[in-house]
Structure 1
Amino acid sequence: MMYENPLAYLAGLEGLALLRSFTGEHGRDFVEARLAELRKLLDDEALAAAAVEVARVGTVDGYRIWSPTYDGPNAAFDIDEPLIGEMVDGIRAETALDAACGTGRMAALLAGRGHRVLGVDSSPDMLARARQRVPGGEFRLGELTRLPVADDAVDLVVCSLALTHVPDLRPVMAEFARVLRPGGHLLTSDVHPERVALGAVPPVRLPDGRPGRLESHRHSAGDYLRAALGAGFEVRRCEEPVIPAPERPETEDGQPAPARELGPWELWPWCLADLVPEAAQAARAGMPAEIIWQFRLTGP
């Protein structure tokens, strides 16, 4: 169970902004404005009163709930698809595995480029949608740590927006290495660990109406590297795309107009950041949205 307190989140954003100021990114006026805003937040009893207990939800149950609406709109898709597509175009592969395939988003990308596609996912509900989306693919129920795929069976593995749900990357990387032929490629994309630390964890409403978030883990770049290198991969490419902050309406004096409402829980924490737009912009400036890797399995 998690305890989500909007006051705590807003105070954290103010703190991150102040830390950036401490290293010279902002001056005295900005610091004084942040401290004044923080005092005002601490005096707002409604913020603390809005705190909620949030359940941790496993991927099978979570994606059963999320599957009808998973395909959109989802801004994460617009970030990784162009880069993954570009990487796939530079790889010669006949058989490709979409690991944790979900509704078949990457399977469709691979099939559209002429690959024979296998898809594996732990959610029967997501697999049903993948089969409809890519009728020519072969889809199997399975876990990332126990892929229902033979040794040396594929030339390419793609795993998108799934590894944050795995507590330990090492057994998953070992499975990817097992099913890949020597010289094969692995492409992964995930929510960036800095974003996960800021609360980028998928929300779901449980059948009884209680809030829940999919089980998620923050993996550093070093975690990915150590797991991949230990499984026999070499790094070919790493991208950390940054998306610009959305523009906000301005007041008459040209300042961002602050939000007036906490917003629905499903939009936390991003709508909470609208309550402190200057602090949020400073805290998130230059922060990557995703981390995308291309690895190659070395030969025997």
Structure 2
Amino acid sequence: MSSPMHVRKALHLASLRAKLAQGKGGLALRLLLAACLAAFLLVFAARSLSSPSPSSSSVSSRQQHQSPTTTTTSDCIDNNNKNKLPSAVMEALVHYATSNTTPQQTHAEISVSLRVLQRRAPCNFLVFGLGHDSPMWAALNAGGRTAFLEEDATWISTIKSNHPHLESHHVAYDTVLTEADALLELRAHPACTAQPDLAAAAQAQCRLALKGLPQEFYDVEWDLIMVDAPTGWTPQSPGRMSAIYTAGMAARARTPGTGPTDVFVHDVDRPVEDAFSKAFLCEGYLAEQVGRIRHFVIPSHREKDGTPFCP
């Protein structure tokens, strides 16, 4: 009898131990959960006390997550003051976006001058001719001075009515295209080539020297000169003989130490532009030709006495 009694006691004791162990495990689990909850509440409370006000937090969050192209009202005000596009650029963008007219030069030809402008702009840029491409040249030289010399006073008024910011001056030519062959022979005349100065050539009665240029032409040293005028496709047109000669003389008369002058001549597929650019701008100064445009780089002839007209 004693043996079964001991067995029952042992079983009862084991059962009590198991229940006690189960109770301790549940208590431990409940204590662990309580501790985790308390820790979470403490962290949440700490963050709430240290975080900024909802308005400043939301502004900061928006600023951190804004894309680079997004601006606030205050950013727009700053941009208007600091990063505003020049008016010449804005007007050119609107003009070409809303116009069916395009510049006479091709993309490849314009790129020749563009590469020089990218290097030298803002600079002093003189253009013989006022046309549909004039807003483009002024925009590419934003911040510099771009002046246009035009033979037709009525055309100046027409262009200026749409683009009042363009600087243009009327120039009268006293040559005609039928004189081109005789004028080309002046390449060998000392009155036209002995002095690197247009005024001296005019004083010496060089037939190619323009005499009616505005004072602004003489007041500025031109870094770039584009010859794309006057008209030259009819026998009685002025032709570009004097314009090409004048561009070359302005480059040769540049102040010593200020670098060379980049001169561009368009429509060199025509006989006059071809012959006069080679004769008076010199093939030795030719840097590049693309399509119908030639680019010459002409140094100052005042740096060294006795510099030959062509190298």
Scaled to the shorter chain, the TM-score interval is: 0.3 to 0.5
Structure 2-normalised TM-score? Answer: 0.40
**Larger-Rg structure:** 2
Name the structure where strand makes up a greater proportion of residues: 1
Structure 1-normalised TM-score? Answer: 0.42
Structure number with greater CO (CA < 8 Å, separation at least 6) is 1
